[in-house]
Amino acid sequence: MKYEVVIGLEIHLELQTLSKLFCGCSTTFGREPNTNCCPVCLGLPGSLPVFNRRAIEMAVTVALALNSCIHPQSRFDRKNYFYPDLPKAYQISQYDRPLSGGGFLQIEFDEEVRNISLERVHLEEEAGKLIHSGESIMGSEYSLVDYNRAGIPLLEIVTAPNLASGREARLFLEELRSVLLYTGASDCKMEEGSLRCDANISLRPAGQKELGTKVEVKNMNSFRSVELALNFEANRQEELLSAGGVVVQETCHWDEEKKETIPLRGKEGSSDYRYFPEPDLLPLVLEDSFINQIAATLPELPASRRVRLKEQYGLSGSEAVLFTVNRPLGDFFEAAAKLYSDYKNLSKWVRGDLLYQLRESGKTAAETDPQKFAELLTMLDGGEINRPVAKELLTEMVLSGKSPQKLVREKGLEQIAGDEQLLPLIEQVIAENSDAVESYRQGKDKALAFLVGKVMAMTGGRADPGRLNEILKEKISRG
Amino acid sequence: MKLYEQTASSLSQLLQNKEVSSVEVVLSFLDRIELIEPYVKAFITHTPAMALETASVVDSRRSGGEELHPLAGVPIAVKDNISTRGLRTTCASKILENYIPPYDATVIESLKTAGLPLLGKTNMDEFAMGSSTENSAFYPTRNPWDLERVPGGSSGGSAVAVSTGMTPLALGSDTGGSIRQPASLCGLTGLRPTYGRVSRYGLIAFASSLDQIGPLSLTARDSAMLMNVIAGHDPLDSTAVSEAVPDYTAHLEDGVKKLRIGVIKQNVATGFDPEITAAVMKTVTLFKDHGAEVDEVSLPLTDYGLGAYYLIAPSEASSNLGRYDGVRYGYNHGGDNIETMFSATRGKGFGAEVKRRIMIGTYALSAGYYDAYYLQAMKVRTLIRRDYEAAFRRFDILVGATTPTPAFKIGEKIEDPLQMYLSDVCNITDALAGVPSLSVPCGISSEGLPLGMQMTASPFREGLLLKAACFLEQKRDPVSLRPRVKLPEGGEV
């Protein structure tokens, strides 16, 4: 039988606010443990939460960017459970009246555009962080807890069960990251835990409407792990079902080293979180004017940027993707395109030599001047410099920020344009390399390149290689 | 002149006229505490040094000609569920026995700014759960009118401290009657303000949607003066309202003419002690004789109030008290692993009544029961609010007994939670509706115990309640309402 994979993702991401969701404590990562804390985020007796307006603005921004419908009135609830990293023994979250409902995100998949629909987006608070002396909390002699993270605003994004493979899940996450980076809401560092993803995955016979038994997969620490873990789990379930077995509803951990999903033991049965409305907070009422104001300031989002780049500059799909994913590079391209209209050539240089130089030098596109870059290409097109010199200048330009004209003057790199300057040098090379001249005459084309190189070296690379070829051929014609 | 016998307002006058110093005032109360406290046990923590320090600062500022708050230099006692920086705040619980908050509640900051010397933290039912102060993990507080009787609760320590002249003013907290019931049982004025009128920041939560801090005092004027210090918006409490704060002392003597008074049928009920009902009706007549318009009103949902309250309050409590797990502060019993540590800490740290309410609340919020219990109770709460809204279209003030009986004997109800819960029956619906409610003395029983009348107004009309209470006081001498404490070894103080 043929099976169809059904995946739903639950994404948690830390919003990049300066202060926490319900108090004024800093959210800076990596501080001395338990120093970004106050009575509120430590849940000290008598303390009370107060909304951070910025966090709400950011949450609304993300929800709008995901085409999710903002609820004019949403509510915060308490999710009750005991755990040492949870200072109040409840998490302030949103249960049945979340910030927004529905929504979708567009992904491009095998040249096809797909809308992945979303269930909801809601806001909640982050818990603290535990470090165990042993393997787990139950097996450790002691555990340490750091509440610096407790109370950081956390956005939960839940997709509908409509992803069909590990690869689609990964593409979705990549697109989501792109959107989040564009909105400035999160730095999306899975390694630092600022973006986390759990997945529900089930299989059903192709064509069947009803969903199969799902398995929850946790502990996937990179987009790649998500893809690997879901593919592994899909295969495992398929083998199991094909062999006549049944899938057991359970929670698994992805084991990064063994590259397999391992069922979690111990926490059997679903917890009863005893949700009820948080009495310390009023319902969150969002006026239309507030929502519209945020909608009006939404930046251009990746999907529309890709379309625009293709239309405006005639770029290919992959070029548009690159200039969208690498936003600073795309911005650089667009700034240079205002001064240099051969977009194809510009794109080629930006994607190739510039990107290479940036990687080599550790500089960023934002540090490089697009105007000088456009000048460089214009000089090359006009024959003022040759290609090798252009590349050399680019290296210098990226490092020093100097203009190409200035560099050319400093280094005397103007292309030698007139034949009268080249001729004596060519004569000299022919005289000094009679063997090579002879080889060429006997039909070895390589020898010509050798001679060109010799002359080029004598000019410090400033000769026009095309013209040089022509003259040399003339002089030592195979007659 | 015995300073400790003075009301806060007369102390305020004496201090402002520089007839006495705040240090003298504080010393007088400290002497009184030394004499009376061993018999009544109203305090958990005494802070004489702190009080004297504040007093001397106030004295030097006043003698330096500074304009100070009228209550500057007038001492106060504070219920031990209000956080005080650097001073242990126990909630009368073993689980917080050694907990020292690193911050002040907003009301404590207000008291400090106004310059009220703090005499100590008062005894209470553990986590404010109870109606007799017998649920204190440390010791019960005794009613000075009869040492064999309870002072009411949960703010029993605050009530007794004021009643015996150990402090002229006290702060209590009222979740379902915890200010008004002990005020009634001890012969005091006690005000539960409108929900949101006084910041809860720093008040250790019992039931967040019901808890309110309020004053206990000998007179309505004293409560009004204290309300002027503590009422107002607080950016640290999302439920504190921004409604402007009036001067609560401004209209105290305006009288009750034209005031529309509704006698709540359910709160002068046949099952109540007839002496209380009679005292309430006599007071109502007094109002009528002085130009008030009186009629009867029924609040039919009162019968459901107690049931709704004992679902909502424990539900919130079960969540609010989850944080006492031994990880960060407070009592930790230890254990082999995290689960045994949690359960041993909570099992040993909480008293029986607190555990009972955590159990009830946990059950009421559980999947499968939520709709039938918590949600249903919330619906009742909404209907109770509407009951009040309808009543306040006809009346300015609703009145009835504060308690069905005067102070009961220590031990009398402690084994019967339901009987104990019923002692708050008149106080609970006001709390559910979030409206201001005040208890004022309205007589003395044949056994010599104080009787109280409860008056309720629509939101933010505390001033009206204080005015009506002040009117009643003018018909009697407030200080004569102080008990003579009969000592077990004979004699009176």
Q: ipTM, 2 decimals?
A: 0.96
Q: For residue B391, what are its two tokens?
A: 């009543």
Residue B446 catalytic?
no
Q: Are strands B293-297 and B260-264 parallel, antiparallel or unpaired?
A: parallel
> What pLDDT, on a 0 to 100 scale, did the predictor assign at position A266?
52
- Tell me the chain A residues in contact with residue B235 when contact means C-beta distances shorter than 8 Å: 50
Among all residues of chain A, which has the CA nearest to that of B200?
A46
Per domain, the residue ranges of chain B are 3-266+277-298+387-481
Residue B41 catalytic?
no
pLDDT at A300 over 60: yes
pLDDT band at A265 (very low <50, low <70, confident <90, very high): low
pLDDT at A417 over 90: no
Do B337 and A43 lie within an 8 Å CB cutoff?
A: no
pLDDT tens profile B341-384: 999 999 999 999 999 999 999 999 999 999 999 999 999 999 99
> What pLDDT, on a 0 to 100 scale, did the predictor assign at position A426?
86
pLDDT tens profile B405-437: 999 999 999 999 989 999 999 999 999 999 999
- Three-state DSSP state, B62: helix
Residue among A353, A344, A354, A303 at smallest CA distance from A325: A303
Do B237 and A42 lie within an 8 Å CB cutoff?
A: no
Q: What is the mean pLDDT of residues A189-203?
A: 92
Non-local CB neighbours of A457 within 8 Å, separated by 6+ positions: none
Do B235 and A143 lie within an 8 Å CB cutoff?
A: no
Among all residues of chain A, which has the CA nearest to that of B95?
A45
Non-local CB neighbours of B67 within 8 Å, separated by 6+ positions: none
Residues B138-176: b if buried by 16+ CB within 10 A, e if exposed = bebbbbbbbeebbbbbbbbbbbbbbbbbbbbbbbbbbbb
> What pLDDT, on a 0 to 100 scale, did the predictor assign at position A478?
60
Determine contact, residues A264/A138, Cβ cutoff 8 Å: no
Q: How many CA atoms lie within 13 A of A17 on its CB side?
A: 29
Residue with tokens 């009986």: B405
pLDDT tens profile A352-369: 999 999 999 999 998 999
Complete domains list, chain A, with CATH: 3-294 (no CATH), 303-411 (no CATH), 419-475 (1.10.10.410)
Of the partner residues B89, B238, B367, the one whose CB lies closest to the CB of residue A50:
B238
> What pLDDT, on a 0 to 100 scale, did the predictor assign at position B98?
96
pLDDT band at B482 (very low <50, low <70, confident <90, very high): confident
| Architecture of domain B3-266+277-298+387-481 in this structure | Alpha-Beta Complex (3.90)
Q: For residue A191, what are its two tokens?
A: 């390694």
Do B201 and A47 lie within an 8 Å CB cutoff?
A: yes
> What pLDDT, on a 0 to 100 scale, did the predictor assign at position A184?
92
Question: Which amino acid, residue A113?
Answer: V
Q: Which residues of B touch chain A, with CB atoms under 8 Å apart?
A: 81-83, 89, 91, 96, 99, 101-103, 105, 200-205, 207-209, 235-239, 315-316, 318-319, 322-323, 325, 327-329, 337-339, 342, 362, 365-367, 370, 374
CA dist A400 and A229 (Å) reads 45
Among all residues of chain A, which has the CA nearest to that of B365?
A274
A24: contact with B, CB 8 A cutoff = no
3-state secondary structure A427-451: HHHHHHCHHHHHHHHCCCHHHHHHH
Question: Which amino acid, residue A398?
Answer: V
Specify the range with the lowest mean pLDDT, choosing from A125-129, B337-341, B459-463: B337-341
Q: Which of B22, B158, B178, B458 is catalytic?
A: B178
pLDDT at A451 over 90: no
Q: What is the mean pLDDT of residues A229-247?
A: 95
pLDDT at A268 over 50: no
Minimal C-alpha gap between B194 and chain A (Å)? 16
pLDDT tens profile B281-309: 999 999 999 999 999 999 999 889 999 99
Of the partner residues A82, A89, A274, the one whose CB lies closest to the CB of residue B365:
A274
Q: Which one-letter DSSP state was computed for residue B371?
A: I
Q: Which of B136, B154, B158, B217 is catalytic?
A: B154
A137: contact with B, CB 8 A cutoff = yes
pLDDT tens profile A110-154: 778 899 999 999 999 999 999 999 888 888 889 999 999 999 999
Do A276 and B370 lie within an 8 Å CB cutoff?
A: yes
- Tell me the chain B residues in contact with residue A51 when contact means C-beta distances shorter than 8 Å: 238
> What pLDDT, on a 0 to 100 scale, did the predictor assign at position B391?
97
pLDDT at A479 over 60: no
Do A45 and B105 lie within an 8 Å CB cutoff?
A: no
For chain A, the distance separating the N- and C-terminal CA atoms, rounded to the nearest angstrom, is: 74
Torsion, Cα of B418, B421, B426, B430 (10° steps): -130
Minimal C-alpha gap between A83 and chain B (Å)? 8
- Tell me the chain B residues in contact with residue A47 when contact means C-beta distances shorter than 8 Å: 103, 201-202
pLDDT band at A267 (very low <50, low <70, confident <90, very high): low
Among all residues of chain B, which has the CA nearest to that of A138?
B337
Of the partner residues B83, B209, B316, the one whose CB lies closest to the CB of residue A46:
B83
Q: What is the mean pLDDT of residues A462-466?
A: 80
> What pLDDT, on a 0 to 100 scale, did the predictor assign at position A173?
96
Q: What is the mean pLDDT of residues A414-430?
A: 79
Determine contact, residues A153/A15, Cβ cutoff 8 Å: yes
pLDDT at B492 over 90: no
Do A45 and B323 lie within an 8 Å CB cutoff?
A: yes
CA dist B29 and B75 (Å) reads 8
Do A276 and B365 lie within an 8 Å CB cutoff?
A: yes
Q: Dihedrals φ, ψ of B423, to 5°?
A: -70, -15
Angle at the Cα of B199 (from B197 to B204), degrees rounded to 5? 130
Specify the range with the lowest mean pLDDT, choosing from A91-95, A174-178, A377-381, B36-40: A377-381
> What pLDDT, on a 0 to 100 scale, did the predictor assign at position B270?
85
Of the partner residues B102, B237, B327, the one whose CB lies closest to the CB of residue A39:
B102
Q: What is the mean pLDDT of residues B240-268?
A: 96
Percent of chain A with pLDDT over 70: 98
pLDDT tens profile A339-351: 999 999 999 999 9
What integer best gives the mean pLDDT of chain B?
Answer: 96
pLDDT band at A430 (very low <50, low <70, confident <90, very high): confident
3-state secondary structure chain A: CCEEEEEEEEEEEECCCCECCCCCCECCCCCCCCCCCCCCCCCCCCCCCCCCHHHHHHHHHHHHHCCCEECCEECCEEEECCCCCCCCCEEEECCCCCCEECCEEEEEECCEEEEEEEEEEEEEECCCEEEECCCCCCCCCCEEEECCCCCCEEEEEEECCCECCHHHHHHHHHHHHHHHHHHCCCCCCCCCCCEEEEEEEEEEECCCCCCCCCEEEEEECCHHHHHHHHHHHHHHHHHHHHCCCCCCCEEEEEECCCCEEEECCCCCCCCCCCCEECCCCCCEECCHHHHHHHHHCCCCCHHHHHHHHHHHHCCCHHHHHHHHHCHHHHHHHHHHHCCCCCHHHHHHHHHHHHHHHHHHHCCCHHHCCHHHHHHHHHHHHCCCCCHHHHHHHHHHHHHHCCCHHHHHHHHCCCCECCHHHHHHHHHHHHHHCHHHHHHHHCCCHHHHHHHHHHHHHHCCCCECHHHHHHHHHHHCCCC
pLDDT at A207 over 80: yes
Angle at the Cα of A318 (from A316 to A324), degrees rounded to 5? 105
pLDDT tens profile B49-95: 999 999 999 999 999 999 999 999 999 999 999 999 999 999 999 99
Residue B178 catalytic?
yes
pLDDT tens profile A383-408: 778 888 889 889 988 888 888 888 87
Specify the range with the lowest mean pLDDT, choosing from A142-151, A312-321, A416-425, B171-180: A416-425
Do B238 and A90 lie within an 8 Å CB cutoff?
A: no
Of the partner residues A51, A89, A279, the one whose CB lies closest to the CB of residue B208:
A279
